Amino acid sequence: MESIFIKQGIVIRVLLEKWRNYGIIDEKMPDLGRNDLQRNAGEKKMKKILDLITAEITQAFVDCGYDAKYGKVTLSNRPDLCEYQCNGAMAAAKEYKKAPFMIADEVAAKLAETSMFSMAESVKPGFLNLKLDETFLASYVADMQADEGRFGCEKAENPKTIMIDYGGPNVAKPLHVGHLRSAIIGESIKRIGKFVGHKVIGDVHLGDWGLQMGLIITELKLRQPELVYFDENFEGEYPKEAPFTISELEEIYPTASKKSKEDEAYKEAAMQATYELQHGRRGYQALLKHILNVSVTDLKRNYANLKVDFDLWKGESDAQPYIPDMVQKMKEETGFDNMKVIATGGLGNMIAQTVDEIDYYDPTLTLKGLQIIYEKQ
């Protein structure tokens, strides 16, 4: 948030300097309207400018003998005519049995007594068009600047712990524009949340599980079959150094993916490698660690260049140990004794083969569900 608010501070200083040059404010920044603007003694909140305007309009309605509920102010939908508007006179006309423009005229006359507006104009059939006085606005902006770097932004009264998943990169693959977009938006949301006082935890949520891992292992085995990771009888310590660089890894995956679409036997081998990986084969687990280490190191470097920082670097593989208990819990909570778990979708068959908790695979389950819904209409 610091860089964002530093920029806002520069804008505010430029505005103040411009207003001084035009003679709108003097060098000492007079305390015009401060009592109206914000804070009573000991009060730490800085009121939003729309709330201040609404309070002023509401009081004008009350002073003229009308209910306070008619003092609602909104941003103008005709900025060429005014900055803010109030349509309360239109609604009040029925209750008070008066022409709306007569009510608007009364309120506008009352508003002429305040220094908040340079224009408070009654427009037939009963609208109030409003423009802020520049001196009032300058005073408000000066208070924002003096607000110890917070610029009027309040702290949350009841801070919460918020988890934001805003990364979603796949390991062994370079980031694309979609990843950059979500990273920047997510980082902004996280910083805003922290700035207002919440405990915000950012999670990258890596795509590090499933067939893509089996594809990498299968292609690597074809290229370097002598690697110790493919020896099922090996019982020693695996090398600490990865058998590939990030550049090589980013070339291996698309090559393997293309082969799997053209060669059914290759795809079957990749699915088998995925199954063995997810069922704890030591060599493949060691390769997964290398894939993650190489990929995450590169991802952290790229995200750092974007000034994006994650608190957690969890992936889909971290959820795998919890799946059996989750499925069992869901079965128990439904109360059905013979509930079955069905996989569907493009990778459903592969998932069903690698996850013991799945009972059946049905490639057309969604279509069947839609047919049932259609028939029930």
Given a cut of 80, whether residue 244 has pLDDT beyond it is: yes
- Is the same domain home to 28 and 110? yes
At a CB cut-off of 8 Å and minimum separation 6, what does 31 contact? Answer: 139
Residues 16 and 128 in one domain: yes
Decide: helix, strand or coil at residue 204. coil
Q: What is d(CA 333, CA 335) in angstroms, rounded to the nearest whole number?
A: 5
In a domain, 343, yes or no: yes
Both tokens of 226, joined, read 């002598």
Residues 177 and 57 occupy one common structural domain = no
Q: Work out the pLDDT band at 11, boundaries 50, 70, 90.
A: very low
Instruction: Please give the Cα distance from 60 to 74 (Å, whole number).
Output: 16
Determine, yes or no, domain membership for 69: yes
The pLDDT, as a whole number, for residue 4 is 33
The number of helices, as runs of H, and strands, as runs of E, in the chain is 15, 8
Are residue 57 and residue 107 in the same domain, yes or no?
A: yes
Q: Is residue 151 part of a domain?
A: no
User: Which pLDDT score is estimated for 118?
Assistant: 96
Range 225-254 burial, b when 16+ CB lie within 10 A, else e = eebebbeeeeeeebeeebbbebeebbebbe
The CATH number given to whatever domain includes residue 59 is 3.30.1360.70
Which contiguous run of DSSP H or E holds residue 123? strand 117-123
pLDDT class for 44, splitting at 50, 70, 90?
Answer: low
Mean pLDDT (the chain, rounded)? 86
- On whether the CB atoms of residues 144 and 161 are closer than 8 A, the answer is no
Residue 195 has pLDDT above 50, yes or no: yes
Structure tokens given for 239 = 């090398």
Q: Tell me: do 7 and 128 sit in the same domain.
A: yes
Percent of the chain whose pLDDT exceeds 70: 87
> By residue range, what is the domain housing residue 368?
321-376
CA distances from 67 to 57, 76, 220, 310, 376 (A): 11, 22, 77, 51, 51
Q: What strand order describes the sheet that includes 84-86?
A: 74-75, 84-86, 127-132, 117-123
Top pLDDT among 240 and 279 is at 240
Same domain, 121 and 199: no
Torsion of CA 247, 249, 252, 254, to 10 degrees: -80
Mean pLDDT of 175-180: 89
∠ Cα 85 89 92 (to 5°): 140
Residue 332's φ and ψ, nearest 5 degrees, are -65, -40
- Per-residue pLDDT tens for 120-146? 999 999 999 999 999 999 999 888 888
Burial class (CB in 10 A: 0-12, 13-18, 19+), 59: middle
Residues 308 and 326 in one domain: no
Does 155 fall in a domain?
no
Give the whole-angstrom CA distance, residue 377 versus residue 369: 13
Q: Are residues 132 and 178 in the same domain?
A: no
Q: What percent of the chain has pLDDT over 90?
A: 62
Indicate if 215 and 336 belong to the same structural domain. Answer: no
Report the SS3 class of residue 71. Answer: helix
| Domain identity same for 122 and 33 | yes
Q: Which of 9-13, 16-20, 184-188 has the highest mean pLDDT?
A: 184-188
Q: Is residue 154 part of a domain?
A: no
Domain C-terminal end among 145, 170, 191: 145
Query: pTM score > 0.75 for this model?
Result: no
Pair 135, 230 in one domain: no
Residue 152: inside a domain, yes or no?
Answer: no
Q: Same structural domain for residues 14 and 133?
A: yes
Section 194-205 average pLDDT: 94
> 150 in a domain, yes or no?
no
**Tally of domains in the chain:** 4
Residues 291-347 have pLDDT tens digits of 999 999 999 999 999 999 999 999 888 887 888 888 888 888 888 878 888 888 766
In-domain check, residue 153? no
Q: Which of 295, 313, 331 marks a domain boundary?
A: 313
